[in-house]
Amino acid sequence: MMILKKSAVAILLFCSVSAYAQNDKQIIVQTRHVSLVLTIGKSGRVYQSYFGKRLLNTADYAQLNSTKHEAYITGGMEDQFEPAIKVTHADGNPSLELKYINTISSHSGDDATETVINLKDPKYPVEVALHYQAFDKEDVIKAWTEIKHDEKTPLLLTNYASAMLHFDAKKYWLTHYHGDWAWEMKMQEDELTTGNKIIDSKLGTRADMYEAPLFMLALNKQADETNGEVVAGSLAWTGNFQFQFEMDEHNSLRVISGINPVASEYHLDAGKTFTTPAFIFTYSNQGKGQASRNLHKWAREYGITDGTKPRMTLLNNWENTGFKFDENELVALFDDATKLGVDLFLLDDGWFANKYPRDNDKAGLGDWEENKAKLPHKVEYLVKQAETKGIKFGIWLEPEMVNPKSELYEKHPDWILKLPNRDENYQRNQLVLDLTNPKVQDYVYSIVDNMMTNNPGIAYIKWDCNRTMSNTYSPYLKDKQSQVYVDYTLGLYHVLDKVRAKYPHLLMMLCSGGGGRTEYGALKYFTEFWPSDNTDPLERVFIQWGYSNFFPSITISAHVTQWSKTASIKYRTDVAMMGRLGYDINVKKMSDAEVQFSKQAIKNYNRLNNVIWYGDLYRLISPYDEDRAVLMYVNDTKSKAVLFNYFLNVRYKAQFNTVKLQGLDPQKNYKVEETNMMDGIKSNFNDSGKVYSGDYLMTVGLNLSAGKILPQTSNVIEITQQ
């Protein structure tokens, strides 16, 4: 956030009144199709008067002046439901009242407008600024809050939401996404009832594993992909989050999104500003599909690193070799990578540590020098060899963690999060470093920086984080232990800021024992994420479907592996092709036919990746509704589309209807051609090569289920304007 000098404030205040305020009582935050209207009441408090479809006539906004719902409700005053903010002042007074001071608006680029509503307590020197950054074309709003004060002793913050939204609908349907390791993003939709429904996590180093910091809320009636009013929300925070959906006796719903207040009391020093993470949300009155497309567009433009730039296909060695390899074996794998035709080789876990070699997950984490037995000529040699063979090289790091069996643990016991007077508590035999400590932040940064300085040819980093926090205590924070969760995440962001400042375009995969860190707080620094360690294509259809609600395909790493013992190489590949395609497979064990198919598939992917990465996603048939999943990507000009059809474990004599396509131009003619076909695998699509109008394809549809359907079969269909 830019700090504004007084003179600049005056100019912007003027701008804001002329451009954004309908009158001196109203503040309008709006995008192309969505508006959020706030009203300054007689009391000086600010109310949310409207949130939904943008009105056609600006004059109509004057009617929206309800003061039923205070926009950012404070704790300790007259409201008896959950507050957005709750503080205790230096004198012990546990209340806050917020009254309007002014609104400041500014533009960043053509697309984004930031509105800052400054509020202040009339009796205590506490100020709160509500920030709303509205992205016009994407219909996305990013909301966050800044809190500061000038009291004599630190202000105690117990609740400090990023945003609060109010709804007055007849009914509310909440979809949330839950799961576990290797079982991520299970979608569940329920009608909300009176009371408070909380979706949250308390895992410390990551936001999700059991619950993801993502939701869709349908208003009035259940929404589907093309119909209904939907709000899709996501908290950009790599740590404990909480969404509260509290429905009162009048059927009003308040949605409070932010850092989880549980065990997170924050002591804010005078003169310092506490900035909450951003709550990123969109509204659609055309169902969930449009909400997803809004978020995808926003993410590519603003939410992730280089979202409009290409990614690389790769061969990873984790599922193939595990920890067992040496440099000669790796160089031989480079040949497999070139044989397939991928862009990059990714060396996974197991390449480092000498006193306690990293030969399994019990030792070595923290000691980031090359293992002399496995890599006598260091990473440098591998980078060179890769270069000679015409591919790029990438490497796995898990910089935030330490095994007790490591030199790092021996040298710096005070750099580790662990409770005094208690046994150490391990997950995967490891502990978490204390990233609240600036010295540890420097050390973690140096792991990446040394690697890149010594090996500037490295083109890709997989950044892992394989445990959550438990039995947590920070030796650095001393008597401020309730800040450990928040300060850890801020420490991580500090490190990532430095990494990105020096290596702005390095491809980086965000991984956390599978999909533990799939949220926009961390993704801002990364180019893609690892959705799940589960790479069984059948499971991946569901997992990737879940993520596709919030994340564009360019961010979703999807590898062809040997996890499934039943799926054909074609099915595994077709499923991985809906994301950022990669391989983690023993190429030597593949048959000639499988290698030939894969080589061609990578060529096909390279031909189609523009549409898959940057196109608009239309989810046509959900695997939650039928024994198949069908989705398609359409490019900007609607001249090219790619459709993926995945049959699940269909039953004997299963029958399916034709599939109506979406997103095409009804006036254009399109040729539909099946690609990625494999000898010996029968297709259930008989119409390859035919030409149809967009109107026909969207009104009548395609028959993707001709003849007898076998379980776990699939089609990739290229749709090209004629």
Antiparallel, parallel or unpaired: β 431-432 and 155-160: unpaired
Residue from the set 128, 511, 608, 697 that interacts with ligand GLA by CB under 6 A: 511
Task: Pick between residue 326 and residue 626 the one whose CB is nearest to ligand GLA.
Answer: 326
Q: Which residues 120-159 are close enough to bind ligand GLA by CB under 6 A?
A: none
Comparing CB distances to ligand GLA, the nearer of 333 and 641 is 333
SS3 673: strand
Nearest residue (CB) to ligand GLA, 462 versus 640: 462
What residues contact residue 689 under an 8 Å CB cut-off, 6+ apart? 671, 672, 673
Our CB check for ligand GLA shows the closer of 279 and 530 to be 530
* Count of other CB atoms within 10 angstroms of residue 503: 17
The whole-angstrom separation of Cα 252 and Cα 84 is: 16
Cα 3–Cα 4–Cα 7 angle in degrees, nearest 5: 160
The minimum distance between CB 460 and ligand GLA, in angstroms, equals: 13
For residue 180 the two structure tokens come to 């576990």
Closest CA to 552 of 639, 606, 614, 630: 614
User: Smallest distance, Å, CB 544 to ligand GLA?
Assistant: 16
**Of 211 and 464, which has the nearer Cβ to ligand GLA?**
464
- Output 246 or 533, the one with its CB closest to ligand GLA: 533
Q: How many CB atoms are closer than 10 A to CB 62? A: 12
Provide, rounded to whole angstroms, the least separation between the CB of residue 347 and ligand GLA.
Answer: 10
Question: What residues have CB less than 8 Å from 1, skipping those under 6 apart?
Answer: 116, 131, 146, 275
Of 314, 194, 285, 290, nearest to 248 by C-alpha is 194
**Is 287 or 516 the residue whose CB approaches ligand GLA more closely?**
516
Write out 484-504 in H/E/C secondary structure: HHHHHHHHHHHHHHHHHHHCC
Total residues contacting ligand GLA by CB under 6 A comes to 11
Backbone phi and psi for residue 466, each to the nearest 5 degrees, phi listed first? -100, 15
Is position 514 an interface residue for ligand GLA (rule: CB under 6 A)? yes
Stretch that binds ligand GLA, among 245-253, 509-517, 587-595, 672-680 (CB under 6 A): 509-517
Binding mask 521-550 for ligand GLA (x = CB under 6 A): ---------x--x-----------------
CB of 514 to ligand GLA, least distance (A): 5
Compute, in degrees rounded to 10, the torsion defined by CA atoms 425, 429, 434, 440. Answer: 160
Does residue number 71 form part of the binding site for ligand GLA (CB under 6 A)?
A: no
Which part of the chain contacts ligand GLA (CB under 6 A), choosing from 404-412, 507-515, 651-659, 711-719? 507-515
In the complex, the smallest distance separating the C-beta of residue 378 from ligand GLA, rounded to whole angstroms, is 20
To which H or E segment does residue 242 belong?
strand 241-247
Verify binding: residue 513, ligand GLA, rule CB under 6 A: yes
Min separation Cβ 324 and ligand GLA, Å:
13
The least CB distance from residue 419 to ligand GLA, in Å, is: 25
Q: Where are the beta strands (DSSP E) in 335-445?
A: 344-347, 392-397, 401-402, 431-432
Nearer to ligand GLA, 67 or 427 (CB): 427
HSE-up of 315 (CA within 13 Å, CB side)? Answer: 27
Q: Is 343 in the site for ligand GLA (CB under 6 A)?
A: no
Task: Compose the 293-332 pattern: x for residues touching ligand GLA by CB under 6 A, - for all others.
Answer: -------------------------x--------------
* 367 forms part of the interface with ligand GLA (CB under 6 A): no
Q: Which stretch binds ligand GLA (CB under 6 A): 29-37, 259-267, 291-299, 510-518?
A: 510-518
For the record, the structure tokens of 610 come out as 């523009």
Q: Distance of alpha carbon 50 from its chain centroid, rounded?
A: 28
**Does 396 help bind ligand GLA (rule: CB under 6 A)?**
yes
Shortest Å distance, C-beta 586 to ligand GLA: 16
In the complex, what is the shortest distance from the CB of residue 104 to ligand GLA, in angstroms, rounded to a whole number?
A: 44
Q: Name the minimum Å distance from CB 462 to ligand GLA.
A: 6
Find the part of the chain contacting ligand GLA (CB under 6 A) among 143-151, 281-289, 511-519, 683-691. 511-519
At residue 455, what are phi and psi to the nearest 5 degrees?
-135, 70
**Contact call for residues 254 and 165 (beta carbons, < 8 A):** yes
Query: Please, what sign has the CA dihedral across residues 77, 81, 86, 88?
Result: positive
Mark residues 465-504: x for contact with ligand GLA by CB under 6 A, - for none: -x--------------------------------------
Give exposure, 523-538, as e/b (b: 16+ Cβ within 10 Å): bbbbbbbbbbbbbbbb
Mark residue 272 as left, alpha or beta (left: phi above 0; alpha: psi -120 to 50; beta: remaining): beta
Which residues 6+ apart lie within 8 Å of 659 measured at CB?
620, 621, 630, 645, 701, 702, 704
Q: Which two tokens stand for residue 472?
A: 């947590």
What is the closest distance, in whole angstroms, from the C-beta atom of residue 559 to ligand GLA in the complex? 9
Q: Select from 265, 348, 367, 519 the one that contacts ligand GLA (CB under 6 A).
A: 348
Nearer to ligand GLA, 160 or 563 (CB): 563
In angstroms, rounded to a whole number, what is the distance separating the alpha carbons of residues 72 and 493? 26
Task: Tell me which of 211, 265, 349, 528 binds ligand GLA, using CB under 6 A.
Answer: 349
Q: Which residue is nearest to ligand GLA (CB)?
A: 349
Closer Cβ to ligand GLA, 279 or 563, answer by number:
563
Rounded distance, CA 431 to CA 449, Å?
A: 22
Structure token pair of residue 229: 């009013």
Nearer to ligand GLA, 65 or 360 (CB): 360
User: In the bound complex, what is the minimum distance in angstroms from residue 526's beta carbon to ligand GLA?
Assistant: 14
End-to-end CA distance of the chain: 48
Q: Please state at what angle helix 537-548 crosses helix 569-576, rounded to 10 degrees.
A: 10
Of the pair 289, 514, the CB lying nearest ligand GLA is at: 514
Say how far apart CA 149 and CA 156 lie, in whole Å. Answer: 11
Contacting residue, 434, 464, 594, 718, with ligand GLA by CB under 6 A? 464
- Name which of 362 and 480 has its Cβ closer to ligand GLA: 362
Which lies closer to ligand GLA via its Cβ, residue 396 or residue 415?
A: 396
Residue nearer to ligand GLA on the CB measure, 253 or 397: 397
Q: Would you say 171 or 362 has its CB closer to ligand GLA?
A: 362
Task: Find out whether 299 and 307 touch, Cβ atoms under 8 Å.
Answer: yes
192 is an interface residue for ligand GLA by CB under 6 A: no
* Interface contacts to ligand GLA, rule CB under 6 A: 318, 348-349, 396, 464, 466, 511, 513-514, 530, 533
